[in-house]
Amino acid sequence: MADIEIMSDRPEDLGWLVGTLERGGHRVAVAALSDSLGGPDPDLLFVDAAKDLTRGRDACRGIHGSSPKVHQLAIVSAEMLEAVGPDWGVDSFILEGAQPDEILARVRIAIGASLADAPSVLRVGELTIDPETYQVRLRGRPLDLTFKEFQLLLYLSERPGRVFSRSRLLQEVWGYDFFGGTRTVDVHVRRLRAKLGAEHEAMIATIRNVGYKLEAPARGR
């Protein structure tokens, strides 16, 4: 499952793309071409250049200039395909009205490239997490976490600043087959905070009536 954003000035015409991505299990958000990326970067970005080639190309270039690590796929029409070049700053493209199998295949390739670009060790403030060795260190000191505590911390750390509801965390970390309640999330958050210690427990912030997010402490705190 990936977080995918579509930038277009005609979202009502892109139901074919939104539907395909959602049926593929991905989370989809739609924004205008004039919008800048706000908050955490999406895993993948579609930029609509099918109806207004110049506007779409400029949006691709702007995103590449401001967020070069974001993987972009341009949506283009068959008639304008020859205009797409390396100066656009995109990783690939799809033709408007492409078949679902082709769309999801291109998404898999792009997401795979994104994962390959990701560092093996995550760093959030003074916290380091190694997904390959399951080691977590805080200021160089190893933290003794259970497997689920590690998975929860890893999930939040891969998406710093993003707020997740308890039910969403339960689905993503424990899985759809888990029959426990959302209080399970609260218990694991409480244990994680205890292991982070008083100085760093605020890294896992509670968003009242919503859920939790992980953020690095501000400098000087």
Verify that 146 and 127 share a domain, yes or no.
yes
Same-domain pairing of 28 and 106: yes
Could you tell me if 103 and 142 lie in one domain? no
- Report the CATH number that the domain containing residue 63 is assigned in CATH: 3.40.50.2300
Query: For position 69, what pLDDT does the model report?
Result: 81
Residue type, 89: G
Tell me how far apart the alpha carbons of residues 113 and 2 are, in angstroms, rounded to a whole number.
13
Whole-model pTM above 0.85? no
Same structural domain, 126 and 103: no
- At 59, which amino acid appears? A
Range of the domain at 134: 122-214
Crossing angle between the packed helical segments 100-117 and 15-23, to the nearest 10 degrees? 60
Average pLDDT for residues 113-140, to the nearest whole number? 79
CATH code for the domain of 179: 1.10.10.10
Q: Token pair of 216, please?
A: 């690095």
Q: How many domains does the chain have?
A: 2
Calpha distance 74→59 (Å, rounded): 10
Instruction: Show the tokens assigned to 71.
Output: 């993987």
Rg, C-alpha atoms of the chain: 20
* Pairing mode, strands 204-207 and 164-165: unpaired
Question: Where is the domain boundary, 117, 140, 166?
Answer: 117
Q: With beta carbons less than 8 A apart as the criterion, state whether 129 and 122 touch.
A: yes
Per-residue model confidence as pLDDT tens digits over 4-63: 999 999 999 999 999 999 998 888 999 998 877 756 678 899 999 999 999 999 999 999
Q: pLDDT digits over 146-204, tens only?
A: 999 999 999 999 888 899 999 999 888 888 667 778 899 999 999 999 999 999 999 99
